[in-house]
Amino acid sequence: MMGAKGQIIITGVSSGIGLAIAKRALEIGFSVQGIGRNEPKELTSNPYWVFTTADLSQEKEVEKIQFQSAAHPLPTVLINNAGTLGRMGQANTIDWNDTNECMTLNVTAPMRLTARFMSMLQKSKQVFFTGSGAAQYAINGWSSYCASKAAIHMYAEVLAQENPTTPIHAFTPGKVDTPMQAQIRAASAADFPGVEHFREEHAEGLLVKPETVAEAVLHVIQNPGEQPVVFPTSQISTVL
Ligand SMILES: NC(=O)c1ccc[n+]([C@@H]2O[C@H](COP(=O)([O-])OP(=O)(O)OC[C@H]3O[C@@H](n4cnc5c(N)ncnc54)[C@H](OP(=O)(O)O)[C@@H]3O)[C@@H](O)[C@H]2O)c1
């Protein structure tokens, strides 16, 4: 069923930023197609919610995903959000499989989903990528993650140049209180020399809430044209 405000298709909805965006989008009148390995149980009974099971690190599963939206004048938005940190550790310890899983999930799958989405007939399309500050500054021990997020920022820049009338964005959400941050804090100092700083910031309650990121992204979706291709969500939260 199409929501009064349009349709949001979002990957990685079982927790964190993706779950917060899906919940808020449903609350304010979008219909949502979630895509990922695990469906959030709290959304299953919502008539405006549909879930497609797919492991986005597997080519065959990505290519068989069907978008649920029929041709419609309301906005249809793809948010490529699913992601992994990959294995942390010095670059010379990262093997083929570690590299491949991170690059497939964080780069190849969003590129393929977006290519198929851009071929759909809807007039009013928008595309978002959950980017990262790690695309813009190097973090010792995060070679795969930093490289993957830099790649997806640049993909967004190219796509925006090719499609000047379509809002296309990679947003950087800051350090957000999600399971991914818990994974970071659990790293050894050998694998991630900066781990202590992340533990301190968490202990001091400095992490951004996923709900704040969701508000910012939904603000940009409903007010297209205000932001550059890559934007920090912290910039939006201040105006909410
Ligand atoms: N938290 C931060 O500080 C932060 C900062 C900058 C950017 N980000 C980005 O934000 C995005 C969301 O992360 P998060 O922080 O919200 O962490 P999260 O709660 O761990 O969310 C990651 C999501 O990706 C999904 N996912 C992982 N592997 C998948 C696979 N193979 N196939 C399909 N889905 C998969 C997970 O679902 P399942 O495991 O259920 O499949 C989950 O829903 C990521 O792209 C991340 O890089 C996070």
pLDDT (tens, 9 = 90+) of the chain, 240 residues, equals 778 899 999 999 999 999 999 999 999 999 999 999 999 999 999 999 999 999 999 999 999 999 986 556 677 999 999 999 999 999 999 999 999 999 999 999 999 999 999 998 777 999 999 999 999 999 999 999 999 999 999 999 999 999 999 999 999 999 999 999 999 999 999 999 999 999 999 999 999 999 999 999 999 999 999 899 999 999 996 544
- How far, in Å, is the centroid of ligand 1 from the Cα of 43? 18
- How far, in Å, is the centroid of ligand 1 from the Cα of 84? 6
- How far, in Å, is the centroid of ligand 1 from the Cα of 185? 15
Q: Which atom of ligand 1 is nearest to the CA of 20?
A: 16
- How far, in Å, is the centroid of ligand 1 from the Cα of 225? 27
Whole-prediction pTM: 0.97
Residue range 6-175+209-237 in CATH 3.40.50.720: yes
Query: Is 104 touching ligand 1 by the criterion CB < 6 Å?
Result: no
Is 145 annotated as catalytic?
yes
CB 141 within 8 A of CB 193: yes
Q: Which atom of ligand 1 is nearest to the CA of 38?
A: 40
- Beta bridge partner(s), residue 8: 32, 77
Query: Is 35 touching ligand 1 by the criterion CB < 6 Å?
Result: no
Strands of the sheet with 76-80, listed across from one edge: 49-53, 30-36, 6-11, 76-80, 125-130, 168-172, 230-232
The closest residue, in CA terms, to atom 46 on ligand 1 is 83
Query: Is 108 touching ligand 1 by the criterion CB < 6 Å?
Result: no
Contacts of 161 (CB under 8 A, 6+ apart): none
Query: Is 69 touching ligand 1 by the criterion CB < 6 Å?
Result: no
Q: Which two tokens stand for residue 76?
A: 């249809």
The closest residue, in CA terms, to atom 44 on ligand 1 is 83
Question: Of how many residues is the chain composed?
Answer: 240
